[in-house]
Amino acid sequence: MPRAGVLGIVALRLVLAAVVLLVACRPALRGHSRADWGTVLVFGAVMAAMNSLFYEAVDRIPLGAGVTLEVLGPLSLSVIASRRLLNVLWAGCALAGVFLLSGLLGGGAGRLDPVGIAFGLGAAVLWATYILFSARTGRRFPQADGLALAMGFGAVLVLPLGIAESGAKLLVPSTVGLAFGVAVLSSALPYTFELLALRRLPAATFSVLMSLEPAIAATAGFLILGQAVTVLDAVAIALVIGASIGAVLTQFRTLGRG
């Protein structure tokens, strides 16, 4: 982000990931219904917006906090899908985690940038939407063809914003090389694996598998970026992770009784 700006790196990430997927999958452009194309276009728009909001968030708040806020989207999806009163408890735990992260406890108002928090919560809504449309795209298109087309559309949407923000910085070879690594490791591979997983798992069950991401992100932020993790941060992240695990266990029990 220091090299290419927030929207600049999002643009490079999606463009390069789209190139990799389109070359690897070579998706057919014919033989798809209007509903198929509608699903792909919405999926691509959601990916572009989700990545943009998340990067805007972590540009303002620590990585662990940003991922913790974003994971509330899959958590909420899991809670809604389960439809059990017990899930009110899990939602309460998650909200408590967000409350702690916001820095409002103990006179610490403003510990985290409120704009960053807002971006993180927006990314959470879009992540839940992403999961639903990833599953729908996987059912409508073979292999990762739908993902490749959606990634291409998302790249087209965000590229003008990246150019407007960063201009010629996007063409610096070292920046492009780093962005290519981000594109492969953060978009092309994980999004493909997620699409394939969602063909075999209910969206609610898949959602909870994301619950370890806040802990991993906080650890990466600490080890690689030198971002401090306070006791309060650790408790907040643990609450969100615990809420996610509780929600999916409730879902498993519901399916088992059914």
Compute how many other C-beta atoms are within 10 angstroms of the C-beta atom of residue 105.
Answer: 15
Q: What are the pLDDT tens digits along the chain (258 aa)? A: 888 899 999 999 999 999 999 999 999 888 899 999 999 999 999 999 999 999 999 999 888 788 888 888 877 777 776 666 776 777 778 777 777 765 544 444 457 788 998 999 999 999 999 988 988 998 899 888 999 999 999 999 999 999 999 999 999 999 999 999 999 998 889 888 888 887 877 766 676 667 667 777 777 888 888 877 788 878 887 887 787 777 767 766 665 655
Report the b/e string of 111-133 with b at 16+ CB within 10 A.
Answer: bbbeebbebbbbbbbbbbbbbeb
In a domain, 258, yes or no: no
Please tell me the predicted confidence (pLDDT) of residue 30: 87
Range of the domain at 104: 6-253
Compute how many other C-beta atoms are within 10 angstroms of the C-beta atom of residue 65.
Answer: 33
Please tell me the predicted confidence (pLDDT) of residue 104: 45
Structure tokens at 181: 């690594």
Q: How far is CA 123 from the centre of its chain?
A: 7
Please tell me the predicted confidence (pLDDT) of residue 107: 43
In a domain, 160, yes or no: yes
The rounded distance, in Å, linking the Cα atoms of 67 and 214 is 5
Please tell me the predicted confidence (pLDDT) of residue 108: 44
In a domain, 105, yes or no: yes
In a domain, 1, yes or no: no
pLDDT by residue (tens digit) across 190-230? 888 888 887 877 766 676 667 667 777 777 888 888 877 78
In a domain, 104, yes or no: yes
Please tell me the predicted confidence (pLDDT) of residue 82: 64
In a domain, 240, yes or no: yes
Question: Number of structural domains, the chain?
Answer: 1
In a domain, 31, yes or no: yes
Please tell me the predicted confidence (pLDDT) of residue 257: 59
* Max Cα–Cα distance, the chain, nearest Å: 60
Please tell me the predicted confidence (pLDDT) of residue 223: 85
Ramachandran assignment for 28, one of left (phi > 0), alpha (psi -120 to 50 degrees), beta (any other): beta
Please tell me the predicted confidence (pLDDT) of residue 249: 75
Q: What pTM, to 2 d.p., does this model score?
A: 0.79
Closest CA to 120 of 96, 107, 101, 106: 101
In a domain, 123, yes or no: yes
